[in-house]
Amino acid sequence: MKCEGLTEEQLRLRSVPPFGMSLLGLVRHMADVERIWFRRRLNGEDLDGIYFSDADPDGEFDNVDTASAEEAFSTWRAEIEHARAIEESCADLDATTKSPRRGVHYSLRWIMCHMIEEYARHNGHADLLRERIDGATGQ
C-alpha cells in the first residue's frame, strides 16, 4: 500500500537525505529478509542473498537506480509464497531452524515475531519516505 500509485522513478527516490533508503530498496530488502529467515535459516536451503552479497552488503538499498520495480515486487511476492509453504510444513511453532544464525537455532515462533517487527519497522520507514515523495500518509 505504501508504494501504490508511484512511478518507478518515485519508488527509487531516496527522499529523506542523507538517509539512503528508498521504497524500492525496502521491497528488495524484505524479499531478502523473507528468503533468509524462512528458506535459508528455517528450511536450511543453501541460498545466496538476492540483492546483497558479502562484497555488497547493502546492495538491496544501494543498487536501485536501474532496478525494476516489477521484478522487485514479483521477487518479494515469490519469497513470501516460499515462506508460507515452509511455515505450513512445520509441525508447530516450536519447529527450529536447520541453519543456525551465529550458532543459535531459532523457533518458528521467534521468526514469526521477528518478521512482524521487521515489517513494522520498515513500514515506519516507508511512511516517512512516501510522505516526502507526494505528501501521502498511511494508516
Predicted local distance difference test score (pLDDT) of residue 137: 81
Residue 76 lies in a domain: yes
Task: Give the rounded percent of residues in the chain with a pLDDT score beyond 70.
Answer: 99
Residue 3 lies in a domain: no
In the chain, the number of structural domains is 1
Residue 34 lies in a domain: yes
Query: What are the tens digits of pLDDT across the range 51-101?
Result: 999 999 999 999 999 999 999 999 999 999 999 999 999 999 999 999 999
Residue type for position 122: H
Residue 48 lies in a domain: yes
What's the predicted TM-score (pTM) here?
A: 0.95
Residue 12 lies in a domain: yes
- Domain range spanning residue 114? 8-134
User: How many Cβ atoms are within 10 Å of 92's Cβ, its own excluded?
Assistant: 8
Predicted local distance difference test score (pLDDT) of residue 139: 67
| CATH number for the domain harbouring residue 81 | 1.20.120.450
Residue 83 lies in a domain: yes
Dihedral sign, Cα of residue 38, residue 41, residue 45, residue 50: positive
Q: What are phi and psi of 101, to 5 degrees?
A: -115, 120
Q: What is the mean pLDDT of residues 17-42?
A: 97
